Amino acid sequence: MSSTEVVEPKAESHHPEVVEADRLSHDNHAYDLDEKANASDYKADAINAENSEHNMGVLEAVRAYPMATFWAFVMSFTIIMESYDVFLCNNFVALPAFKNKYGIYDEGTNGYVITTGWQSALQVSGQLGALIGVFLAGPLTSRIGYRWATITALMLLNCFIFVFYFAETLPVIFVSQILEGLPWGIFIANAPAYCSEIVPIKLRAPATQMLQMFWAIGSIVVGAVTYVYNTDLDDNAYKIPIALQWMFPTPLAILLFIAPESPWWLVRKGRLEEAAKAVGRLGHKSRLDNTKETVAMMRRVVELEKTEKEPTLFELFKGRDLYRTLIVCGVYASQNLTGNLIANQAVYFFEQAGLGTDTAFALGLITSALQWIFVMLSWILTTYIGRRTIYLWGTAVNVVLLICLGIAGSVTASIASTNAVASLGLIISVLFTLGAAPASWVIIGETSSLRLRPLTTGVGRACYYIVEIPCIFLASYLLNPTGGNLGGKCGYVWGGTGLLCFIIAYFYVPEMKGRSYREIDILFRRKVPARKWAKTTVDVQDDE
């Protein structure tokens, strides 16, 4: 037997407070952009926006945020300039025209070589400048935003290229590379942070991994140009590749001038109306339910991290932010210890493995092209399998291959051993861009707290350079015929360092796939062990 409850309609209330509440509840999410509103006032909208991002598929996210994808592409493009110059200097030490002008005669090779000292100096000079640049990037970006900090760096780079182009001695080239490194530091600190902030959860992996893709593109351009000029023995062989750097900064500066600022940065500054407009510019208006809800979601996360103080470098090394900083620093630094230096010195490595100059440059170009393809494949793996999984397996595979490289370099010299060393060098360089390298960019972009993100990415990249600089000297010594002349046996060294990186990452790098920034903040605050992140649930109502 059933019963039916009859509910009498309530009489319309004309009480002023009730009328005002009803008006606000229908006033297009009025509290979302109200600076005086309490967190509880816009929490429901924040939850709706977060749930909406969680429920999006990858293709749906691309359709909903097409311009976010485009602007992430543009910001990532700035990395091509550091990549281009790093590979350019590495290729110059193998370029006949450059060696003939700046090298010394070596009886063992019956030709000119750049001495080990200058070879290492040229390779670290840009990194020294970038090390300074990343420390400038954090305070500068926190103050004026990602766009203007990057535009300023692009204009400075235009000026510094003149010094490199007109340099006639190795010391002046060294100084020019330090100067060029200053804007590189700003690019590399800002790009992963900006890309991770302007896209929804499902696009954070491919958006930040575009950085690795553009690193590969920079090496392809350099490889193609130096391959064309490697038989040319006049100054054009290295002057033209230097001049080609001017084709990047000005077009990028124009594009970034019209790009939206990161809405997360605007929310942190309390510019809520501008943040809502930025979200609208990033998404397809017909598919976005409400830009104000997205801003409410951002406000909720910013409130979790809010303090009265301005962000400082000292905060990176306090409490749970220390753990987050160490993850970013460790992942950045490990790029130099798991095969990256072989990838960056591919042409020189192939030469020292016993291949001819023309073949070495051709293989270097093939390596760069394969890296570009494999980076795009990594988008799928990291998006669907996870960051931690790909990072760990990629590192483990590279460690095994590096040890195999050492074994191949240890056997008696022959055509077969030379081919084995060259082949393994190519495979290591390519697989590095499928696993550890692209996954590391995603981890770097997601780990830090939003409030400290510009500072964290800057300090993390500084760690990269601090480790890279001595490693470059070591790598040059290991390969140079006037140094260790180890050839493929250098695989033992990098295999050992790679194994150490794998062990540390296994215990300390968490899985952040599919996590909102709110969830990531909460998991760090709860001190959940890295290996248990994937199985831990964070309730949508939790604020702590």
- Could you tell me which residues are beta bridge partners of residue 106? 111
What pLDDT, on the 0 to 100 scale, is given for residue 488? 73
What pLDDT, on the 0 to 100 scale, is given for residue 216? 82
In the chain, pLDDT over 70 holds for what percent of residues?
Answer: 85
Q: Are 86 and 340 in contact (CB under 8 A)?
A: no
Q: Are 405 and 421 in contact (CB under 8 A)?
A: yes
Helix crossing, 357-384 with 415-432: angle to 10°? 40
Which of the 8 DSSP states describes residue 412?
P
What pLDDT, on the 0 to 100 scale, is given for residue 270? 87
DSSP-H helix ranges across 32-145: 39-55, 58-64, 66-77, 79-92, 96-102, 116-144
Is the alpha carbon torsion for 479, 88, 128, 459 positive or negative? Answer: negative
Q: How many helices (H) and strands (E) does the chain have?
A: 25, 2
- How many beta carbons lie within 10 A of that of residue 189, not counting itself? 33
SS3 112: strand
What pLDDT, on the 0 to 100 scale, is given for residue 274? 92
Say how far apart CA 317 and CA 460 lie, in whole Å: 12
DSSP-H helix ranges across 145-235: 146-166, 170-198, 204-229
Say how far apart CA 365 and CA 21 lie, in whole Å: 66
Which of the 8 DSSP states describes residue 534?
G
Say how far apart CA 468 and CA 111 lie, in whole Å: 29
Q: Are 30 and 20 in contact (CB under 8 A)?
A: no
Taking phi over 0 as left and psi of -120 to 50 as alpha, with beta for the rest, 319 belongs to left
- Take residue 393 and report the two structure tokens written for it: 């397996």
CA atoms within 13 A of residue 541's CA, in its CB half-sphere: 0
Place of tokens 């990532």: 76
Going by C-alpha positions, the residue among 198, 203, 293, 252 that lies closest to residue 84 is 252
Q: Are 286 and 72 in contact (CB under 8 A)?
A: no
Say how far apart CA 480 and CA 352 lie, in whole Å: 7
pLDDT tens for each residue of 174-191? 999 999 999 999 998 899
Say how far apart CA 78 and CA 184 lie, in whole Å: 8
**Phi, psi torsion values for 99, nearest 5 degrees:** -65, -40
Q: Are 338 and 494 in contact (CB under 8 A)?
A: yes
Give 3-state DSSP helix, strand, coil % of the chain, rounded to 5: 75, 0, 25
What pLDDT, on the 0 to 100 scale, is given for residue 474? 81
pLDDT tens for each residue of 117-149? 788 788 788 889 999 999 899 889 989 999 999
- Could you tell me which residues are beta bridge partners of residue 104? 113
196-209 residues labelled b (16+ CB within 10 A) or e (exposed)? bbbbbbbbbbbbbb
In the chain, pLDDT over 90 holds for what percent of residues?
Answer: 27
Helix crossing, 272-282 with 291-305: angle to 10°? 130
Going by C-alpha positions, the residue among 501, 213, 505, 265 that lies closest to residue 377 is 213
CA atoms within 13 A of residue 11's CA, in its CB half-sphere: 3
What pLDDT, on the 0 to 100 scale, is given for residue 30? 52
Going by C-alpha positions, the residue among 379, 512, 519, 386 that lies closest to residue 51 is 519
pLDDT lower than 50: segments of the chain: 1-26
**To 5 degrees, how large is the angle CA 108–CA 111–CA 115?**
80
Going by C-alpha positions, the residue among 516, 526, 25 that lies closest to residue 297 is 516
